[in-house]
Amino acid sequence: YLLDAGVNWFDTADSYGTGDLKGQSEKLLGKFDVAYMQKKRLKASKCNFATKLAPFPSRVGSESMYRAGLESVDRLQRNIDIVQLHWPPYWLVPQVNRWFEKEYLRAFNRLIQENQATQVGVSNYGPKTLRIAQKTAIECGSRIYTNQVQFSLLSRYPLDNGLAEACEELGIQPIGYSPLALGLLTDKYTMSNLPKGPRALLFKEFLPKINKLLDVLRDIAKKRNKTVSQVVLNWNLQKGFLLLVGIRNIVQAKEKII
């Protein structure tokens, strides 16, 4: 449904599906892509895949991250459109962090040079670390095009800590994940109708605190003949962020395609 409706970007990570299911998300996307092309008798894919490679402690040096990229290519059964560093390498010594980061970005550039990937992105970077990473990426022969961070009406720190300005200055497109705040901003839950699982504890704490915000969103939605979710997503888009929206079924897909 999404592809036929014109949505053609899908985000994943090599850590989505671990243990015996290593890289399961990438595997499923790759299988779907092949099956869709066969069904539609297409010679080229309509999908664009962005995947995130995790800076696990076991991945030391450029070669280890390069091999991780090739493993993702194998699971996706095609090249990667945006290869992203899932989070900054965090160690006790800043010099060690920067060494790991530089090695990882060298690996990404190598993937691009070999046509295994098209662009470089990062995830969960703040303004200071993003500036350093962009400088390092350029030194390694490429550049960073995207930065994926948590962003919503309940998590507006990218607007407050200078990250949005840094992205504009560096020519990096910010991408917001959790734009609906794990479902808190969908207006589909109440204290008597909580989601199942661990989210229920979160919703019990936060739903009473956002009643005034939800009232405003409901009023806007009613005047615009939209759903609350659509109003929320549009707010994020108007701030210059591309969005990663979790969609579980066609009903949700129809609602969230604005």
What is the Cα–Cα distance from 125 to 148, expressed in whole angstroms?
Answer: 8
- Report residue 120 as tokens: 């470089």
16 classed as catalytic: yes
- For tokens 């605190």, what's the residue? 209
Long-range contacts, 40-49 (Cβ 8 Å, 24+): 45/78, 46/3, 46/8, 47/3, 47/8, 47/10, 48/8, 48/9, 48/10, 48/81, 48/82, 49/10, 49/11, 49/12, 49/76, 49/78, 49/80, 49/81, 49/82
Strand partners, 146: 121, 173
Q: Kindly name the residue from 1, 16, 36, 177 that is annotated as catalytic.
A: 16
Q: List all residues 6 or more positions away from 173 whose beta carbon is below 8 Å from its beta carbon.
A: 145, 146, 147, 167, 242
Place of tokens 């299911």: 21
Helices (H), the chain: 24-40, 61-76, 94-113, 127-139, 157-160, 163-170, 199-206, 211-224, 228-238, 250-256
Angle at 86 between CA 82 and CA 89, to 5 degrees: 130
Residues annotated as catalytic (active site), given as ranges = 16
